[in-house]
C-alpha cells in the first residue's frame, strides 16, 4: 500500500525545494543554508505528521549537503518505497542514488 502525503502539504515542500535551488543558483551560501534549514524543518514537520515516508526521506536525501548522509537517507527511502510497493518512487530514488554516485565519481576524478 502506498502511503501518500496530502497534496497541499507536498506543495509546501515543492515551494521550499525551489527556494533552496534558486538560492544555490544565485551562489548565495548564506541564503542557501537558510533555505535548506527551512526545507529540513518542513520535512521534519511532515515526518511527525505522516510518519516515515519514502518521499519525505528521499527529498531529505536529495537536499543534504553531506554525500554520505545523503546516500544513507536515500537508501532508507528506497527500502521504504520497496516495502510500500511504490515502484514510481523507487525509480526516482534509484535515479537520485545514480546521480549521487556520479557526482562522487566526478569529485574523485577531479581530486
Has residue 96 been placed in a domain? yes
Helix/strand/coil for 61: helix
Has residue 2 been placed in a domain? no
Rounded to whole angstroms, the Cα distance separating 91 from 97 reads 10
Contacts of 75 (CB under 8 A, 6+ apart): 97
Has residue 27 been placed in a domain? yes
Has residue 100 been placed in a domain? yes
pLDDT single digits (tens) 50-109: 999 999 999 999 999 999 999 999 999 999 999 999 999 999 999 999 999 888 777 655
- Number of domains comprising the chain: 1
| pLDDT at 3 (0 to 100) | 66
Distance of CA 68 to the CA centre of its chain: 13
CATH code of 81's domain: 1.25.40
Has residue 1 been placed in a domain? no
Judged against a pLDDT cut of 80, whether residue 111 lies above it is answered with: no
Q: What is the pTM of this model?
A: 0.89
Q: Which domain, by its residues, includes 77? A: 7-110
pLDDT single digits (tens) 7-48: 999 999 999 999 999 999 999 999 999 999 999 999 999 999
Has residue 55 been placed in a domain? yes
Amino acid at each position: 500500500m502506498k502511503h501518500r502525503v496530502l497534496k497541499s502539504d507536498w506543495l509546501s515542500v515543492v515551494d521550499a525545494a525551489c527556494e533552496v535551488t534558486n538560492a544555490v543558483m544565485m551562489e548565495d551560501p548564506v541564503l542557501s543554508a537558510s533555505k535548506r534549514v527551512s526545507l529540513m524543518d518542513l520535512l521534519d514537520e511532515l515526518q511527525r505528521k505522516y510518519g516515515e515516508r519514502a518521499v519525505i526521506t528521499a527529498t531529505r536525501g536529495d537536499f543534504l549537503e553531506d554525500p554520505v548522509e545523503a546516500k544513507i537517507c536515500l537508501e532508507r527511502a528506497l527500502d521504504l518505497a520497496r516495502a510500500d510497493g511504490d515502484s514510481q518512487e523507487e525509480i526516482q530514488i534509484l535515479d537520485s542514488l545514480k546521480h549521487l554516485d556520479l557526482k562522487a565519481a566526478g569529485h574523485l576524478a577531479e581530486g
